[in-house]
Amino acid sequence: MDMQFFVDMEARIPKGKVRTRFAPSPTGYMHVGNLRTALYTWLIARRAGGTFIFRLEDTDQSRQVEGATEIIYRTLGECGLQHDEGPDIGGPVGPYIQTQRRDLYGKYAKLLVEKGAAYYCFCEKQGDEEESAGFERAEDPCRNLSAAEVEEKLSAGLPYVIRQKVPQEGTTTFRDVSYGEITVENKTLDDQVLLKRDGLPTYNFANVVDDHLMGITHVVRGSEYLSSAPKYNLLYEAFGWEIPEYVHCSPVMRDQQHKMSKRHGDPSYEDLRAQGYLTEAILNYVALLGWSPKGEIAEQEVFSLSELAEVFDLAGISKSPAIFDLAKLDHFNALYLRAMEPEAFAKTAEPYIRQSVKNPAIDVAAVAALLQARCEKLTDIPEKVDFFDALPAYDTELFVHKKSKSSIESSREMLDAAIPALEALEVWDAESIHAALMALAEEKQVKNALLMWPVRIAAAGKAVTPGGAVEICAILGREETLCRLKAGREKLN
C-alpha cells in the first residue's frame, strides 16, 4: 500500500487543543437527545477554548429524510451553537460530509487488513445481515483464509465486506467520563462489518476514522453506544491512534420506563418552539438533563448559554437517566419570559396576541405588559386575551364571587354607579380610571373588590383575565368599555 497517503493524512490533523464534534445523521427531526448532545459538545469546546466541528453522517442513504439537514442547521443557528468547521464553512480536515469522504474508508479498512486487525468476508448475506450483531465469527470460514485464497476470490470479482478481526481471547478495557473503567471479554464481541459491499463504511467504522482524522479529543454520544466502545478501542489500538475521551450521556426519558421517541408523540426542538417555549429556556432545561453544576453554583438553575460555557464541566455529567418533564420546562420558560425587557417581550408576544386580537386600535404593548408576569408559554396568550377583540358570551353567574362578596344585586348597583363615573372622565387612561373608581368605592363605602369585580366581568366577560378592571378598561378605550359595561348592566336587569 502507498503509506505516504496515510502519512499525509496524519499531517493534516490539528493538535494541541480540545476538538469536539456534533455528527448527526439527516434522518429526521432534531429530538431533545440530539440537542443535548450538540449542546454538551459545544460547551466542552467553548469551556476549553477549543474547536467545535459539525459533521454530517449520511452514509445510511436509505434512512435519509428530505429537509432534515436544513432542520439541523436551523436548530444549531437558533440555539447559538455556532460551529467552527463544517460542510458550509470548510476547515482544515474536510470534507465534513461522510459520503464525500467515501474513498478514505476503503483505504483505512484495507490498512487494517494488512495489520491483521480486519479481514475480507465473502459470505453470502443479505444487506440487513451484514451489520448484524448476532454474527458468529467462529462460523465464518473467511476469518482464517490465506492471503492467496483472498486474492483468488478478489480476482474472481466476488463481492465482499471487510470485518473487524476481534481477538478471541483476553479482555478490552475502556474508560468513560461518567461510567469509569469498563472491561469486557473479547469473546463477547462480534466481528463487526467495517466496510459494506457497496463500498460505504458502517456507522461505527466511519466514526472512528473520521474522529481520528479530524483530531477529535472528546467524543460525546448516548449511552446506547457503550457496548460498541470496546470495538472502537480495538480499532484505535490496531491503527496505533490515540483514544479520545469518551463521554457517554444517559438517555433522556419521558418516564421511568420509556425513552423519548417521536413515535410516542414526544416533542422535537421545533415542536417545543411551536408550543411556545423560548429557545433560551429550552437550552437551559436541556443542559440540566443529565448535568448538574457543582460547588458554589450547585443550587443555581438558571444559566445563559454564555454562563454555561464558563461553568460546564465533565464532572457534573450523570450516568442516571434524565426524565423530561414538561412542567419543569414550563417553570423555566416562565422565568425567562418574566426576565425579558418589556419591549422585547412585547415584540415576541405580538404575533400570539394578534392571533386573537385583530382590532388595530388595541395597543399590543399595553396588552403584553399585562401578560408578561402571567403566562408560562407564548401559546397561552391567544386564549388569555381574545376578549379584547370581542366580548365573549357569558353567564350572569360570573358576577357572583365569594371572595369579593359580589352578588347579582350588588353588581347591578356597582355598574349603575360606575358607568356615569367613567362617562364623566375627561382623560381616559389607567390613572384616571383608577382614581375615579377608588373615589366611587369610597363614596359608596364599599370595599374596592365589590366594585372592581363587576366592572371587570362586564368589560371582559371572563372570570380569569390578565390584568384587572382598570387595565382592561384603559386598553379597551372609552367607547368600547362603556358599551360593554352597559351591556353587562342590561344582562343583570
Active-site residues: which are they? 262
Helices 448-460 and 408-423 cross at an angle (nearest 10°) of: 80
Q: Is 88 helix (H, G, I), strand (E, B) or coil?
A: coil
Distance CA 182, CA 232 (A): 13
DSSP category for residue 251: P
Distance CA 129, CA 260 (A): 27
* Cell numbers found for residue 322: 434524565
Q: Of all helices (H) and strands (E), which one includes residue 5? A: helix 3-11
Distance CA 241, CA 261 (A): 36
Give the up-direction half-sphere exposure of residue 437: CA atoms within 13 A in the CB hemisphere. 27
Bridge partner list, 245:
218
* Cell numbers found for residue 72: 439541523
Q: Are 473 and 419 in contact (CB under 8 A)?
A: no
C-alpha dihedral, 397 to 400 to 402 to 403, nearest 10°: 120
**Residue among 60, 364, 384, 342 at smallest CA distance from 203:** 60
DSSP category for residue 200: P
DSSP category for residue 268: B
Bridge partner list, 341:
none
In the structure, how many helices (H) and strands (E) does the chain have? 20, 11
